[in-house]
Amino acid sequence: MGKGWRMVIIKNKKEIKKVNNMEEKTEKKRPDWQEYFLNIAEVVSTRSSCMRSKCGAVIVKGKSIISTGYNGSPTYQQNCQEIGNCYRNDKGIESGTQLEKCRACGSHSESNAIALAARNNGGCDGATIYIYGNKAICTQCRGIIANAGIKKVVYRNVEGKITTEYPETQWKIHPLDKSACDSCAIGEDCDNEQYHTVNGCDMWIEIGDKPIESSEEIEWKHVLTPKQIESMSGCCPNCDDPLQFGEWDGDDIIVNCTNCHYGKRVDPEGNEEDLD
């Protein structure tokens, strides 16, 4: 009997003997929509021609995929695999620096997915983009994502860490302004963006428009507590679509479904109240 087969002998409609040369497989948990689209983004990344990192992106409206993209050379140009070498590797260029010296410059997974959506007359306004392979999103792609009207960004690195960001509220500070944060009392965890590690807890602070000279000049307008962050990680109870940050209401936040009219209010302690 071939490997992996199981024979069951039945007598009088009762199972009396099993011959099994493989372990019983437990049924895998059905992925939620976020995991589903991130898994698809991981498959998309396998089309990448990059020799350093393979990234994939999926743009979604509701539960429908409107575009995909992966990093590699632009159309009409040879990619690194076809050429047989990586220019950045040959020149010893450190990852994350001198991005213009890369054959995939301007042709990352995020920008390629947005370009494909535009080419197919599919607007990205209000969409969510799911990305696999990135530890962070480059400044150029952040600008393209924001200008395309994408409201939610979810990315998973190769180690499995998932990060969710909302361009409209979290991408207000350009990297050129980061140097002003060198003396910030928050310390090395502070990169002048909205996510920081404060007292061991991930918190979201909305910083004022002025450059930061010291911690005293941080405008603590709102703080998104870990419980509130957790409240946005699930799916809509009505249609099972992803949830997203809506707006502030005092210290409470309004969380909305990306597809239907479902909404809820979440206070800093994580107490939730469904909205009519």
Active-site residues, by number, are 110
Asked if 257 and 245 count as a contact pair (C-beta separation under 8 A), the reply is: no
> How wide is the angle at C-alpha 145 spanned by C-alphas 39 and 135, nearest 5°?
50
> How wide is the angle at C-alpha 145 spanned by C-alphas 81 and 35, nearest 5°?
75
Distance of alpha carbon 21 from its chain centroid, rounded? Answer: 41
Measure Cα distances from 109 to 5, 143, 147, 168, 202 in Å.
42, 14, 16, 21, 27
Q: How far apart are the first and last CA of the chain?
A: 61
230-240 as b/e: b if 16+ CB within 10 A:
ebbeeebeeee
The neighbour count for residue 19, using CB atoms within 10 Å, is 10
Nearest to 114 by CA among 53, 38, 61: 61
The torsion region of residue 167 among left (phi > 0), alpha (psi -120 to 50) and beta comes to: alpha
